[in-house]
Structure 1
């Protein structure tokens, strides 16, 4: 039995700028990617309005399949940060591991409740499951092991994708997804007019998809491992020490990520003809999107480096976004609290008639609301409610709600 007390939750003043800045903007990408999935009313087959084409194209090119890899990288980064803080405070390794696993189990529980009540596109459960595996198998391994495993997973993703292409070509597209599939996917429960029925539908789909979305995207697991490796070298805490790496990652990652997204958008609107495009091009964007997500993380690290180099204090806008990043779990859940009852048929039902362009504007508005709420909490030196609950459950002891801000 462990007798050495580990340290409690990290204080806000101890946090690095780059991860929280990235998390804050990551939530903008997530809400822009998720909100269109709540649209369900247009099945007429009529061509979209020009504004909707622009909105969809921008989201496909710049955001789709990039926000979640950002989350994956920062998730792995945060796990290693927490583990190292526990060790530095004198906690035994086994105790630090148990803390991480409790947090991961709590994330799965949060995901179940989130999906059942509001949104079955939840990612918390999948990342909690992935976190359990990463801690059990990879935590404490050598850098070389992490990088090799990440490379194997990334190559495995490409191999699976290539196999799918071959099957599609050999079968003459019999197993592919035709270009007739709409951009907007119907999520269970969205069209349900009965809220209890929608809860059942969402819960069932979440449970069924937990293993699929938690384990099968091999490239996402690779990104988590890269985040673990980066945290060991404190790349985001000390961006000035890693400028060449960050610059290369930003340029190459965004170039590949945007190119993949643009190709998918062009194929979606049939500007270019790609054989069985939806059978493999969409999955290919998961790989290119992962690189794009890493590119975005590198960009925010470079922004943090600029602040450090010039010894500047972030302005009020950046401070508010950072405040949201420090409360990213609450910010993520708040998106569903606002969006689900507004768009779903069991709520106000605007998803039946809204289109892509106004939905994107609505999503930006939701993000701005969460930024403002996070700033209010920052000024009151209060954690986000979800973060407070997670800490109380994971640390098994009451955690102070009030936190100290840096002076």
Structure 2
């Protein structure tokens, strides 16, 4: 058999399973737990007073759940997702270039992947009815794709510029938007009378607004740019060599995240009642400190990946199995939330509070972990992940 080195590359190819690093898959598996915990309260459609996506507690246990969620989950799940997304884009581009694929083909591959994520996100939002973030990452890939081919210095400068723009825009935007969006109803406007067709129609109409909302009112592009830059340092591929640096990032990132989240979390837990005008600024602090939280969580997972396989192989393999099939189980979790909680299906969300939503989210994630472990034992990919790869790497 001739060596690959003597033959020209046949074209872009997906990453083989044996090439996968453990830390990114562990991170994605943990990230999906955070996402389902963050999204479940959205479907509590009979709660009267919301802080955006989270209803105020009806009892002490609800207040405790809100406190924990606002400290560790809300505005911390999507930053971790965004870091891993940017990191994954950079790894994909680097590996294709290392295989000898021409840069023009890699750019085309990247654009195709981004457009497919937008399509998947639209179908998810309309047909499943979940809280979509796929399309936002697809749009982010189109906006930031050029950055993947730039030197490290240009990437750092771009991060600084994007960060400055967000620091100017986001506080002003939330100061205007927060009073309009909170206090009387849940963020997505679900009611007990909603039907599937009505929800699908509303989501289709709102799709462009959802994209702009997520790109502009959250520092999404900044976090993805940080993920792209961090791939140059190979944080998740060589965590054993970078352990001291990762420890500093984990400690400082999670510490900043907790300090920045605390004021808003105290409001959400009914432990502090500042003037309404101050809450928007507390939310902005919560959002920006979540950037540090996402980085800290990612670094912590990389540290854990160094030794956890030997210490707890079953847990590690299960978590990694979920992460390998992150698209499939993201869609699965969102579909289960809609089926169990939404008024268009079982409607249990009309009878639950924050604590109940927390329990439902945990059960959904555990079911996803069980399914992922079953697929892993049989050597099967997640169907949505396999479809996306097939569409991305089809012959062009």
Match of 2:129 among 112, 119, 140: 119
CA 148–31 in structure 1, closer or farther in 2 if over 3 Å, else same: same
Q: How far off its partner does 1:232 sit? A: 2.0
- 1:69 is the counterpart of 2:107: no
Matched residue, 2:252? 252
Matched residue, 1:159? 168
Q: How does 1:265-304 map onto structure 2 within 5 Å?
A: 265-275=265-275, 276-304=277-305
Matched residue, 2:5? none
Q: How far off its partner does 1:88 sit? A: 1.3
CA 274–330 in structure 1, closer or farther in 2 if over 3 Å, else same: same
Match of 1:335 among 330, 333, 336: 333
CA distance in 1, matches of 2:73, 2:361: 13
The more displaced of 356-365 and 255-264 is 255-264
Q: How far off its partner does 1:40 sit? A: 0.8
Conserved 8 A contact 2:218-2:287:
no
CA 103–268 in structure 1, closer or farther in 2 if over 3 Å, else same: same
Q: How far off its partner does 1:120 sit? A: 4.9
Q: How far off its partner does 1:227 sit? A: 1.0
Q: TM-score, normalised by structure 1?
A: 0.88
Q: How does 1:4-403 map onto structure 2 within 5 Å?
A: 4-43=9-48, 48-135=58-145, 137-163=146-172, 177=179, 181=183, 185-188=186-189, 191-213=192-214, 215-217=215-217, 219-275=219-275, 276-307=277-308, 312=310, 315-396=313-394
Conserved 8 A contact 1:188-1:205:
no
The more displaced of 227-236 and 382-391 is 227-236
CA distance in 2, matches of 1:138, 1:186: 33
CA distance in 2, matches of 1:306, 1:143: 30
The more displaced of 365-374 and 46-55 is 46-55
How many residues align structurally?
383
Q: How far off its partner does 1:153 sit? A: 1.9
Matched residue, 1:403? none
Q: How far off its partner does 1:272 sit? A: 3.0
TM-align CA RMSD: 2.4
Residue 46 of structure 2 aligns to a residue whose secondary structure is: coil
Q: How far off its partner does 1:397 sit? A: 5.0
Q: How far off its partner does 1:386 sit? A: 0.5
Conserved 8 A contact 2:75-2:286:
yes
Conserved 8 A contact 2:249-2:295:
yes
Q: TM-score, normalised by structure 2?
A: 0.90
Q: How far off its partner does 1:10 sit? A: 1.2
CA distance in 1, matches of 2:191, 2:322: 27
CA distance in 2, matches of 1:164, 1:195: 32
CA 203–345 in structure 1, closer or farther in 2 if over 3 Å, else same: same
Conserved 8 A contact 1:104-1:128:
yes
Q: How far off its partner does 1:47 sit? A: 6.0
For 1:276-312, what per-residue CA distance to the aligned partner results, in whole angstroms no more than 9, with x for missing partners? 23322112211101110110000001112235xxx83
Matched residue, 1:405? none
Q: How far off its partner does 1:371 sit? A: 0.7
CA distance in 2, matches of 1:164, 1:105: 28
CA distance in 2, matches of 1:232, 1:266: 38
Unaligned runs of 5+ in 2: 1-7, 51-55
